[in-house]
Amino acid sequence: MGDRVRVHPEKCTMCLYCQLVCSLKNYGFFSPPKAMIKISRLGNEINIEFSSKCKGCLECIKWCFYGALKPKKGFA
């Protein structure tokens, strides 16, 4: 369901709000490693990935204040 989200890694600040809110929404507590979205850095490149467990709820988008996550057309 991560395919509902359009990603702009070049805008990502690695604040990890998305991982925090995903774990809170889906498990009821903050645990970034449990999130269905994962932000990582390899050299200068930031990578944004979704696990197969992503439910497509789009909560992560609401809490990304830097424009790195946007809904794909039809999922706004």
Q: Closest distance between ligand SF4 and the C-beta of residue 70, in Å?
A: 10
| CB-based contact 39:48 (threshold 8 Å) | yes
> Binding of ligand SF4 at residue 27 (CB under 6 A)?
no
> Binding of ligand SF4 at residue 13 (CB under 6 A)?
yes
Q: Closest distance between ligand SF4 and the C-beta of residue 44, in Å?
A: 15
Distance CA 46, CA 33 (A): 17
Amino acid of residue 9: P
> Binding of ligand SF4 at residue 32 (CB under 6 A)?
no
